[in-house]
Amino acid sequence: MNRYLVTVKIQGQNVRTIIDAESAVHARLLVDYRFGMGSLIGQPQAMAEDGNNYPRFDDVVAAYENIEPIKPIKPIKPIKPAASPEQARINTLKQNKARADAALKSERTRQKTVRAQQTLFKTLR
């Protein structure tokens, strides 16, 4: 195993960490797998075994998981197949009927209100 210094973008912050991997490509793949594509800034840099002033990758991952757990993605609802022309015609007629019923109800209410106002005006005179 070789030791690499990588810079990772986590929640908008750049974090430098040390990762143990077989090669620079392997280090890149580990970071991309854990934090998503494009989270690695620059290329992994090979380090000497003794120079480690940076946190280890596993510690960074553990801290990240404690801060913000991975949330499940809501599944996408399947699209209903298009209705046949006959069914579409029936649906349109049903919608027109519902609109006509609502218009009839509102017109009856309006007429009742007008009659009540006329009766009120007649009694006040």
Name the range with the highest mean pLDDT among 27-31, 36-40, 52-56, 91-95: 91-95
- Residue 112 pLDDT exceeds 90: yes
What the block records as the tokens of 79 is 């699209």
Residue 33: pLDDT above 70?
yes
Query: What pLDDT is stored for residue 52 in this prediction?
Result: 66
Residue 82: CB atoms within 10 A of its CB come to 8
Is the pLDDT confidence value at 29 over 80?
yes
For 71-108, what is each residue's pLDDT tens digit? 667 787 888 888 889 998 999 999 999 999 999 999 99
Question: Pick the residue with more confidence: 81 or 25?
Answer: 25
- Phi/psi at 73 (nearest 5 deg)? -90, 135
- C-alpha distances out from residue 18 to 38, 57, 62, 64, 81, Å: 18, 5, 14, 15, 52
Strand partners, 8: 15, 40
**73, 31 contact by CB (below 8 A):** no
Task: Return all residues near 22 (Cβ < 8 A) that are at least 6 apart.
Answer: 1, 2
* Residue 122, both tokens: 């007649």
Any bridge partners for residue 16, and if so which? 7
**How far apart, in whole angstroms, are the C-alpha atoms of residue 104 and residue 88?**
24
Backbone φ and ψ of 17, nearest 5°? -145, 165
Is the pLDDT confidence value at 124 over 90?
no
